[in-house]
Structure 1
Amino acid sequence: MLAIALAPALGATAKAEALAPFTVIGDGIPDSLTGKAGDAAHGRALVLDRASTCILCHSGPFPEIRFQGDLAPNLAGAGNRWSVSQLRLRLVDASRLNPVTIMPSYYRLEGLVRVGQGWRDKPILSAEQIEDIVAYLATLRD
C-alpha cells in the first residue's frame, strides 16, 4: 500500500492558511483532518450551498433543490460506494485518483492553475468543512 505523508503547505503571502497535515494511504486519507468527526447536518448544508459547488456537478437525494448537476456521480448511496477515507481524499484532492478530473481540489494549495486572485494561498474548503461533508456523505446509503 502506498503511504505519503504531507506537511502543511504555506503560501507566499501573509493571508496564507496552513493546511492540516495528512497521510494518503492507498486510495484514501484514513485520519480526520481535524482530529474529530464532522457534523453531518452542517455537511448537508454545505453540499447544498452552491458556493461549495457540489450541487453544480452532482445530483442526489435532495428533493428541495430544483436544479442539480449531472456532470458527476449522483451522491445517493455515496456512503455505500466509498469509505470515509475514500470520501476524504476525493474532497481533499480528487486529482490524486484521476489526474484529468474536473472535480476541484478543495484542500490543496500547490500545483494548481488558473486560480482566481481571491482564492490564492487558501483552500476552497477548510478542514472542518471537509470533515462535515465527509460525515454527511457517509450517511447517504441506498
Structure 2
Amino acid sequence: MALSGAAAAQTLQPYAVTGDAIPASLTGAAGDPTRGRILVLNRTSTCILCHSGPFPEEKFQGDLAPSLAGSGSRWTAGQLRLRVVDAPRLNPATIMPSYYRIEALQRVGAPWRGKPILSAEQIEDVVAYLATLRE
C-alpha cells in the first residue's frame, strides 16, 4: 500500500476540533477497518514502530507509546481521529507526528514537506480500525 502517493495527492480537508476530538469524519464517510489494520501494521505509516497491540503476527512492536489494545474502549472515534490527525495538539511533548498537518511542524523529512503523512481516507481507515480494538 503506497502511502506517499495517496497522501501527496490529497488536499487537506477542513475539520473542526471540539474539546479533545474531531467529531466529524474528514471524508464525510466511515473508514474501512480492514484497510486501517493494514496501515497500522505497515511500518511506513510508523504506528507499530512506537505502539504495540493485538498483532501476534508482528514480532517487532514498539514500546515507546501506549499499547493500541483497547483503543476503541478508551476513546471515541472523534478522540482517536484527533490523536492521529494532530497528537501534539493534545500533548505538546509527544513524539507522535501529526499525520494530517502540514504547517508549523519541526524536523519534517524532505519527502513529507508540504504534504500530510496520511490522506483523509487513510486517517478514517485507521480510526475505523482502532475503534474496533475493544480489549
Mapped to 1, the partners of 2:129 and 2:69 lie a distance apart of 11
Do 2:10 and 2:120's aligned partners in 1 also have CA atoms closer than 8 Å? no
Calculate the TM-score normalised by the size of structure 1: 0.88
Calculate the TM-score normalised by the size of structure 2: 0.92
Greater per-residue strand proportion: 1
Mapped to 2, the partners of 1:112 and 1:75 lie a distance apart of 25
Do 1:17 and 1:121's aligned partners in 2 also have CA atoms closer than 8 Å? no
What aligned pairs does 1:1-142 form with structure 2 within 5 A after superposition?
A: 17-142=10-135
SS for the counterpart of 1:76 is coil
Greater per-residue helix proportion: 2
Q: Which residue of 2 aligns with 1:8?
A: none
> Of the two, which has the highest radius of gyration?
1
Moved over 2 A (4+): 15-18
Higher relative contact order (CA 8 A, sep 6+): 2
Cα deviation, residue 18, structure 1: 2.5
The alignment-based identity, stated in percent, is 73
CA RMSD, aligned part only?
Answer: 1.1
1:70-124 per-position Cα deviation (integer Å, ceiling 9, x unaligned) = 0001011000001000000000000110011100000001000111211111000
Q: Which runs of 5+ in 2 are unaligned?
A: 1-7
